[in-house]
Amino acid sequence: MNLRFSLHLLLAASALAGVENVNPDANMPQALRGVGIDQKLNSLAPLDLEFTDESGVRKPLRAFMNGRPAVLALVYYECPMLCTMELNGLLRALRAMPLTAGKEFDILTVSFNPKDTPAMAAAKKAEYLGKYRRPAAAHGWHFLTGSEENIQKLTKAAGYRYQMDPSSGQWVHASGIMVLTPEGRLARYFYGIEYSARDLRLGLVEAGKGRIGNTVDQILLFCYHYDPATGKYGMVVMNLIRAGGVATVLALCAFWWIMHRRSRNGKYQHVDRLPVIS
């Protein structure tokens, strides 16, 4: 398989992210049949499955989350193109966010290639921690490997479909990341290789159920709503209209109160100036 065709194949796989029940018809390349990401919003990820981190420690996924929301990125460490583009896009979003991995949330980068090793994971972690430049991430951004059985259970639960292309010996897969609640529910899906820092931040704040973020984040959540069809946050017009209506009522009440006070003060002052009749 030449490089040009590989590029087209990988980008086409990326475009399949978010498409449910992909139909393997004759117009679709054989390597892309059965590849994509199906949303399984609110489903539980199997956090009791054990994976091995970059230092060789094996433990359940739950233990890597520390009771916080998490970003789940499914990749493989020797991917020649798409996985690197996905992780670079995630990195750009992370660097633009005030929230920090290892403090407010965690990142689970899990290889779906059972042949990947902790040494490969350690090399990837060193590369991306060096680019992220936030010390707390050393304890919050995990690069994991696992058995084929556990990988298949996790990817199936997340709706992540991929396959090996026998002609190239490479994995064909879509590109996207997921957000997990602290309990392991699949809360948000973001597709492609570029992720909005605002959307990722709002997704994590929502998944954190008020335990992370600040007042500004809560206001933004009032104004923006997650659209599962696009995997993005859009402005909620009705909420803005309601907010505008409330603001108008409050402004009218404030105006009435000020005018009432002025009227009372003016009345009393007028009485004080009345001439004294002897």
Number of Cβ within a 10 Å radius of residue 259: 10
In the structure encoding, which two tokens stand for residue 8, read together? 């087209």
Q: What is the mean pLDDT of residues 238-257?
A: 49
Q: Quickly count helices (H) and strands (E) in the chain.
A: 7, 13
pLDDT score recorded for residue 154: 98
pLDDT tens column, 198-227: 999 999 999 988 665 555 556 655 576 678
Number of Cβ within a 10 Å radius of residue 274: 7
**What are the CB-based long-range contacts (under 8 Å, 24+) for 199-204?**
199/232, 199/233, 200/71, 200/93, 200/94, 200/97, 201/97, 201/98, 201/99, 202/226, 202/233, 203/179, 203/233, 204/69, 204/71, 204/99, 204/104, 204/105, 204/179
Q: What is the mean pLDDT of residues 21-45?
A: 73
Q: What is the mean pLDDT of residues 3-30?
A: 50
Q: How confident is the model at residue 105 (pLDDT cuts 50, 70, 90)?
A: very high
The residue extents of the domains of the chain are: 3-235
How crowded is the C-beta side of 9, counted as CA atoms within 13 Å? 24
Q: How far apart are CA 44 and CA 250, in angstroms?
A: 43
Q: How confident is the model at residue 119 (pLDDT cuts 50, 70, 90)?
A: very high
Question: Coil, strand or helix: which one is 110?
Answer: strand
What phi, psi does 270 have (nearest 5°)? -65, -40
Instruction: Return the CATH class of domain 3-235.
Output: alpha beta
Using the CB atoms, write b or e for 99-124: b if 16+ within 10 Å: bebbebbbbbbbbbbeebebebbbeb
pLDDT tens column, 150-169: 999 999 999 999 999 888 88
Using the CB atoms, write b or e for 36-49: b if 16+ within 10 Å: bbbbbeeeebebeb
Which has the higher per-residue pLDDT, 188 or 246? 188
pTM higher than 0.85, yes or no?
no
Mean pLDDT of all residues belonging to the chain: 81
Q: How far apart are CA 49 and CA 47, in angstroms?
A: 5
